Structure 1
Amino acid sequence: MSNLQGKQNVTSVDYRKVVLMSLLLAVTSFIFMSLNFLFFHTIIELFSILVAFSIFIIAINTYSITKNCYFIFIGISFGFVGLYDLLHTLAYQGMGVFPGDTSNLATQLWIIARYVQSISLFIATGFLFKELKPAVISLGHSLVAAFLFAGIFYWDYFPDCFIPGQGLTLFKVSSEYVISIILLVAVYLLYRYRKHFHDRVCMLLITAILFTIGSELAFTFYVDVYGLSNVIGHVFKVVAFYLIYKAIVETNLKKPYNSLFFQLKQTKDDLEETNAKLTKEIVQHKEAEVQAKKLYKAVEHSPSVAVITDNEGYIEYVNSKFTEITGYLREEVMGKKPNLLKSGRTDRKTYDELWETISSGKEWRGEFLNKKKNGQLYWEQASISSIISSQGEISHYIAVKEDITDRKQAEEVLKRYQLLSKHARDIILFIGADGKIIDANRAAVRAYEYEYEELLELNIKDLRCDKVKLVRSQILKVSEEGVLMERFHCRKDGSSFPVEISSQGMVYRDEHIRMKIIRDISERKVVEKELKQAKETAEAANRAKGEFLANMSHEIRTPMNAIMGMTDLVLDTDLKDTQREYLSMVKTASGSLLRIVNDILDFSKIEAGKLDLEKIDFDIKAITKQTIEVFVFKAEAKGLKIDYYIHPKIPHIISGDPVRLQQVLNNLIDNALKFTEEGGIYIKVTMEELVNNLIKIKYEIKDTGIGIPEDKGDLLFKSFSQVDGSSTRRFGGTGLGLVISKRLVEMMGGSISYTSEPGTGTTFSFTVTMMVPDILFVDNNNDEIDITSNGIANLRNHNKTKTKNSGGFKALIAEDNELNRELVLTQFEMKGWDAVAVENGKEAVEAFDNYNFDLILMDVQMPEMDGFEATALIRNKEKREGGHVPIIAMTAHAIKGAEQECFRAGMDYYLSKPVKSDALYSLIKKILDDRE
């Protein structure tokens, strides 16, 4: 309430005038009362009402100028008090305005007016510190008035205040005392906050309230409404209203407008003296102005916050750094106190010490935890001094403050680190900018075997055993990026141990320090050494395993090639039924053995993570048909039927590994045939989704076999496990087929699952995800795809066409195994092809030099000269002399990379032993066709 704080010459109320006016009013009132009490009551109440309305009108119309919330609240309150008093006057006994014409209604309205008046004076001091719009104050009074009027005129729940013949009720008398107590509290509050008022205005208000208390007490004694105490009460009320009116006029009218017409009269001598002083001081003022501008510029652009307040703490100036730090604009804080920055987190004792210090003219230094406009907390370090005027009094205060939030946070972090480091198992050192150790934890004392005080005398370099100098980039990686660094540190006795170091920079008390967390990794190094040795041992074992599997593959496949080949040749001759039956058993057993070998090799490669999938374009429909066709004879032999369906939307050509896809399909169809005694097998191939160039294809193999018991399902995809593991089981196998199929399907981006009902059948489903080349198309020919078992028979007969006569075709066969040489020669003779056989690579090169061949079948592993070297010599000769003879590699090495190694050596085709006759014939037919 700065507009109330000016000092005037007249600072006290002229109580003689007040007493004289009161006596005059009392005598006049007594005379009028003697003549006609009703007329007296009406006149004196109307005077009070006019004064109340005048207070209301003045307060409302001057608020826009004074912005005085205290007096606007008093003015609006007295406007409503005037309304209540007007109704009280009209309801007075003898006026005849309201029905009943009793004194009780008038007394009820009177007590309401006094309650509103006293409570308003009581709570008005609250508006010295808070602002409230006049409309809100008016709305609050209107709601209260509506409630009170309803209680008197409508619901009739307001207590009686006067009973004719008995006088005042207990409620009325008690209320007058309560009102007096409220008014006494209002007097206390006015006195407490007197510094917010001009002295004269404050005394006018206090005197008015005291007269009001006297008025209330007078009204507690009368029995007859026309009694003397009633007259005294009304007189005191008029005086009280008048004094409040005077306070309103003094504050809102007289003082503001007197200041506009300040007395500018001065004598001629005063003006001449003033002009002389101004003329003399003008140069000094100009110089001071230049200095002031420099000072202002320095303060305005200072890196520190600057705030200037008056002697009561109201802000008069803030620099740009203040607005930058706090977020408040200048206009938002001018005329307000700096306590708008309070966060509530700074101890009250700090503020008490601050005001005690600067009020005595001394400088205060300290810290605050303040709050910005956006609610963010920040720390300030402040230096606050008083500015002494020429009269020797404090006129202003100036504060220079610095944002130390980062420093406080760093100190807090350091405190937490120090607290944690005491009990940490790792070594923690705090290093100064010069490398000197400034703090260490207990783990450091134990590890380096120095006393704590001894450590603080060392530089971090003194702890290093390895004197390797780090370049700046390495240091930055360790400190800023958190990269761990390994070094050797020394104990006090000179022994060394390996450590792992991480570093973190921070600022503590304006000094850049570094915290190093150092871990003794001696045990880890031992474990790493053991792990490295174990890894090398495992890798050696894995290499030995690979070599063993490669040798086993070669040693088993080589004789198997002869056994299976010769068996096929003998089966094509005239045999007795018994002989044919025995040889068929041999062929079946050989095939089973070969599958077991293949399964073990595949499983080993999968387990070692060395089985890679090919990615080539192939006809998935043709591959699927060919795979199913292989099982047609076997199914017919058991009296079973095979049907299949391939969805027409599946593209012909996709990119993936056709061999592994066939392997999975073979395993599942073979299992279905194995466990099905009657009925049949149905294979369904559909397309689940096609997104961009990725296609997901689903295979379903459904049989009508024995099914899988529910409690045995978890054994299906376990290595070397079977549903029937008893010694009397009917069905053989290694128990690897489904395990390998599951791994292959997962490698092809799919999954495998099954559903089964014992005694009814089983359905295995698997999906694979493959690429669709851009050139592929979708075949919509349903007739081609929807093939039944009858169609399979026709397809089988179609494939029995003979290879046409080769004419002058001649082949060279290089094979070190005698049985295998004889097998291939016999197969060629049956086809009518001419062939020359040799035992090793050296003989193959000599034969190539002496004869012209159309084809070479080259074994890879042979004595004296292997197939790779022989191929290289043949290709070198062809480069010199021209020509190119196709070479088919034949090898029992069914390990990863064997096929690619053959191609790199210069061979054109690849067949894995044991070589099937159909595969050999098909490949040679293709070569012959390409030759023509």
Structure 2
Amino acid sequence: MLNRSLYYFKTLLFWVLLFCGLYICNLYSYIVFHSLTELFTIVIAFSIFIFTWHSRHLLKDHFFLLIGISYFFVGFVDIFHTLAHEGINIFPAHGENLSAQLWLCARYVQILSFFGAVFFMNREFNRKYLFILYSTVVSLCLLSIFKWQIFPDCYIEGVGVTTFRVISEFAVTLLLITAVFMLMKSRNSFTLYVYRLLYISFLITIFPELSFTTNTFIYNIFHVSAHFFKIAASFLILKVIIEMGLVRPYNLMLEDMLESRDELKKLSAAVEQSADMIVITNFKGTIEYVNPAFETITGFSKSEIIGCNPSILKSGKYDREFYEAMWNTILSGRVFQHAFINKKKDGTVFYEDKTITPITNEQNIIISFISIGRDVTERKRAEQELIERSNELLHSNQELEQYAYVASHDLLEPLRMTTNYAQLLSKKYADSMDDTSKKYIDYILGGVQRMRSLITDLLSFSRVTSQGKQFKSVSMNKVLKIVLSNLEPLIDERKVNIYSETLPDISGDRTQMIQLLLNLIGNAIKFGNMIDPEVRIWAKPHHCSVKDSNKEEVFTLPRRTAWLFCISDNGIGIDNQYLERIFYMFERLHARNVYEGTGIGLSICKKIVERHGGNIWAESVEGEGSSFYFTLFS
């Protein structure tokens, strides 16, 4: 605050001393005073032009460029005005009228430029054409004064200021006042500091114009003050140009530099602290930079690796063609991404997911490359272990399925033998058996029968995968016809009403489709309404995801139509809490003496649908019926 006050004090002292010195000169000789003041304004005018011209690329608004160029021509005319003063005697034949004419010519150029700059604010124009325009106007003015002598008189000896001069000064003043109002409307286009300088400069420029409208002696106090105001107004314009062309751009540049420095620090910290390995090489592949993560992971220090080629990390896992393809990619300006198997300093192999990106200059020429790599060794090991365990599990499942198939098949033989001997006993000794013995024989035969059904279902379950056939186009209408034919005795016995719509052709295993519908429709009949049973079968197109039975991921199959099938009944229904459990192995919701079954049928259905890439689920209202939905693909 103290420094700023001191600055303002020194500035004020300078101007007071300057004006006092000029005023003293005026007391001594008006010619000296006039020459010095005009010299000041001429120097300021050319300074305005020089600053404007050399900072033209930094001036975003052509408002200042127009004013700066105009001051070159104003200063040029003011030189003639100064030399034409009556006391200088360079143009003695013309008298004081010549100086007045040149003054008015310079003021017209200056004020019209102010007015034009405000009027054409925020608009661009061609500098070349602007110079041509000013050169033409000023040349015509000078020619009309010196050669053609058609410029109206502005001062007549013994009479004073002419009517043309007075009218011109008022016209110039009116234009200047109009420019001030236009400037006020456009104040948001400037900073407050610049706006104030322009506003004050425009206002104090009015006084020199009005001072020459009086028909008094040309060297009076008003004329002296007018020159002081002219110097001040020109100096304020110079300050504006310096502010807009030098101070403000360089302040903005400094701010940008400081901001860039902060961003550079953040970027540097991000690179240095990154957990990924970052390597920068020149165009030939020589390493110029590595971050600490690279040193930690590879074991190479910066001093050891800088200046080397990244080939020092080669593990020998890739052939020459691989590296040629890599170089062809990055030299063509494209990004190269690949999983590398590299070697550390101690010879240990590690896995790296690496991205190599070319870095170009302003001419889009590749000058260097940046490589960002992530150590994925642990992930690769985990993936390998997962693959090995998956393979082991798959092998184990296959062995279990084969075992289940063989065991089930082998168990059927002793069951047949047990059944045969139990039946022989029942026939041969029927007369000698009491009721208890006959009951025991029935228990044996019932248990064997249930065991046979269970083993048969287990065989069917194991065969879904192990003995599944290659998928072909299957007509579900024909499959339904076969299933209904097989169930015809049960349908007639229960007097079930079957309602079916036209079903589509799908891609699948025909035998398994028969088994699927046989289980679902059979269940719908078994658990159906005892009075007026109904079973409805329909299908419609459906948008859904497909779950690959060999991979635990969901994806959408392109160019395949999904079909939603539904088999519904009006039977006893299922409690919602059991809707998922019913698809588990051996899951039964009712006692055997109420509804027969092994609890494997719906598990078989689920496995068949999943093998075909679909999903199966149930919806039910207890006491009103159930609907089983499943998706298949054509």
TM, length-normalised to structure 1: 0.36
CA distance in 2 between partners of 1:682 and 1:571 (Å): 41
Q: Does 1:189 align with 2:165?
A: no
Distance in 1 (CA, whole Å) between partners of 2:391 and 2:204 is 94
Q: Measured at CA, do residues 564 and 658 of structure 1 come closer, stay the same or move farther in structure 2, by a change above 3 Å?
A: farther
Amino acid at match of 2:582: L
Q: Distance in 2 between matches of 1:117 and 1:626?
A: 111
Instruction: Write the distance in 1 (CA, Å) between the matches of 2:315 and 2:209.
Output: 91
The residue aligned with 1:496 is: 348
Equivalent residue number for residue 700 of structure 1:
567
Q: How does 1:123-162 map to 2 (within 5 A)?
A: 123-124=178-179
Corresponding residue for 1:135? none
Secondary structure class of the residue paired with 1:429: strand
Instruction: Report the CA distance between 1:720 and its aligned residue.
Output: 3.8
What is the Cα deviation at residue 528 of structure 1?
4.8
Match of 1:11 among 71, 81, 88: 81
Q: Which residue does 1:447 correspond to in 2?
A: 297
1:597 maps to 2:460? no
Following the alignment from structure 2 to structure 1, what is the Cα–Cα distance between the partners of residues 366 and 326? 23
Gap change, CA 1:465 and 1:123, over 3 Å in 2? same
Contact 2:512 2:608 in 1 (8 A): yes
> How many angstroms does 1:740 deviate by?
2.9
The aligned runs of 1:225-374 (5 Å cut-off) are 348-349=249-250
State the distance in 2 between where 1:655 and 1:533 align: 32
Task: Please tell me whether the aligned partners of residues 715 and 723 of structure 1 are also in contact (alpha carbons under 8 angstroms).
Answer: no
Whole-angstrom CA distance in 1 between matches of 2:335 and 2:541:
45
Alignment match, 2:581: 715
SS in 2 for 1:716: helix
CA offset at residue 762 of structure 1?
1.9
Confirm or deny that 1:645 pairs with 2:511: no
Aligned pair partner of 1:622 in 477, 481, 491: 481
CA distance in 2, matches of 1:470, 1:739: 54
Distance change (3 Å), C-alpha of 1:670 and 1:566: farther
Q: 1:745 to 1:610 in 2, by over 3 A?
A: closer
SS at match of 1:684: strand
Deviations 1:423-479 (A, max 9, x none): 122332222234332111112223344443333253333444549653312444588
Q: Aligned residue for 1:398? A: none
1:130 is displaced (CA, Å) by: 11
Q: Unaligned regions of 5+ residues in structure 1, if any?
A: 21-58, 74-115, 132-183, 193-204, 216-231, 233-238, 244-336, 354-367, 370-408, 772-932
Deviation string 1:768-807 (CA, Å, 9 cap, x unpaired) is 5565xxxxxxxxxxxxxxxxxxxxxxxxxxxxxxxxxxxx
Tell me the residue number matched to 2:210: 209
Give secondary structure in 1 for the equivalent of 2:579. helix
User: Which of the pair has more CA radius of gyration?
Assistant: 1
Could you tell me which residue of structure 2 aligns to residue 435 of structure 1?
A: 285
Q: 2:520 aligns with which of 668, 677, 680?
A: 668
Equivalent AA in structure 2 for residue 544 of structure 1: E
Percent identity between the aligned chains?
Answer: 18
Q: Summarize the Cα distance change of 1:211–1:650 in structure 2 as closer, same or farther, 3 Å threshold.
A: same
Residue 125 of structure 2 corresponds to none
Q: Is the 8 A contact 2:280 2:371 kept in 1?
A: yes
Structure-2 change in CA distance of 1:427 and 1:722 (3 Å):
same
Distance 1:470 1:122 in 2: 81
Letter in 2 for 1:452: K
Conserved 8 A contact 1:482-1:502: yes
Equivalent pair of 1:713/1:723 in contact (CA under 8 Å):
no
User: Is the CA contact 2:480–2:514 (under 8 Å) kept in the aligned structure 1?
Assistant: no
Structure 2 Cα separation of the partners of residues 433 and 690 of structure 1: 55
- Unaligned segments of structure 2, at least 5 residues: 1-65, 88-95, 98-107, 120-170, 187-196, 217-221, 227-240, 544-558
* Residue type at the aligned position of 1:209: L
Q: Which amino acid aligns with 2:605?
A: S
Q: Distance in 1 between matches of 2:118 and 2:361?
A: 54
Per the alignment, residue 881 of structure 1 pairs with none
Is the partner of 2:349 in helix, strand or coil? strand
For 1:412 and 1:470, the matched residues in 2 are separated by 43
Deviations 1:67-86 (A, max 9, x none): 9845998xxxxxxxxxxxxx
Deviation string, structure 1 residues 846-879 (Cα, Å, up to 9, x no partner): xxxxxxxxxxxxxxxxxxxxxxxxxxxxxxxxxx
Q: Output one character per residue of 1:550-595: Cα deviation in whole Å (capped at 9) or x when no partner.
A: 322431345667888999999999x999999999988876664444
Cα shift at 1:681: 2.6
Are residues 1:422 and 2:285 paired? no
TM-aligned CA deviation for residue 345 of structure 1: 14
The letter for the 2-side match of 1:503 is I
Higher helix share: 2
Matched, 1:631 2:490: yes
Q: Does residue 738 of structure 1 match 2:602?
A: yes
**Structure 1 pair 611/126, CA: closer, same or farther in 2 (3 Å)?**
farther
CA offsets 1:496-555 (integer angstroms, 9 cap, x no match): 332424422213697722223344454345445544543443244234223313322431
1:684 counterpart residue number: 536
Q: Deviations over 1:95-150 (max 9, x none)?
A: xxxxxxxxxxxxxxxxxxxxx9989744515769999xxxxxxxxxxxxxxxxxxx
Shift of 1:422: 0.9
**SS, match of residue 368 in structure 2:** strand
CA distance in 2: counterparts of 1:517 and 1:71, whole angstroms: 54
2:465/2:611 contact within 8 Å kept: no
Q: Structure 2 vs 1, CA of residues 458 and 662 (structure 1 numbering), >3 Å: closer, same or farther?
A: closer
- Paired residues of 1:683 and 1:699 also in contact (CA < 8 A): no
1:374-396 deviation digits (Å, cap 9, x = unpaired) = xxxxxxxxxxxxxxxxxxxxxxx
1:534 corresponds in structure 2 to 389
The answer to whether the 8 Å contact 2:351/2:380 transfers is no
Pairing partner for 1:545 from 373, 382, 400: 400
Counterpart CA distance in 2 for 1:672 and 1:543 is: 32
In the alignment, the residues of structure 2 paired with residue 474 and residue 433 of structure 1 have an alpha-carbon distance, to the nearest angstrom, of 14
Letter of the 1:428 partner, please give it.
I
Q: Partners in 2 of 1:418 and 1:609 — Cα distance?
A: 62
For residue 626 of structure 1, report the CA deviation from its aligned partner: 0.9
Number of residue-to-residue matches in the alignment? 430
Q: Of 473, 492, 496, which aligns to 2:325? A: 473
Distance in 1 (CA, whole Å) between partners of 2:617 and 2:568 is 11
Contact 2:469 2:509 in 1 (8 A): no
8 Å Cα contact 1:681/1:701 also seen in 2: no
Q: Residues 68 and 536 of structure 1: is their aligned pair in 2 closer, same or farther, counting only changes over 3 Å?
A: closer
**SS of match in other structure, 1:484:** strand
Query: 2:457 and 2:524 mapped to 1: Cα distance?
Result: 18
User: Does structure 1 retain, via aligned residues, the 8 Å contact 2:278–2:373?
Assistant: yes
Separation in 2 of the partners of 1:465 and 1:625? 66
Change (3 A) 1:497 1:572: same
Aligned-partner Cα distance in 1 for 2:306–2:586:
66
Q: CA deviation at 1:750?
A: 6.4
By how many angstroms is 1:625 displaced? 2.5
Amino acid at match of 2:250: K
The answer on whether the counterparts of 1:754 and 1:762 sit within 8 Å (CA) in structure 2 is no
Kept in 2: contact 1:504–1:516 (CA 8 A): yes
Q: 1:742 to 1:15 in 2, by over 3 A?
A: farther
Instruction: Tell me which residue corresponds to 2:341.
Output: 487
CA contact (8 A) 2:498 2:535 kept: yes
Distance 2:263 2:320 in 1: 28
Q: Determine the C-alpha separation between the residues in 1 that align with 2:427 and 2:525.
A: 26
State the 1:348 CA deviation: 1.6
How far apart are the structure 1 equivalents of 2:318 and 2:612?
Answer: 51
Q: Is the 8 A contact 2:521 2:567 kept in 1?
A: no
Counterparts of 1:24-43 in structure 2, within 5 Å, are none
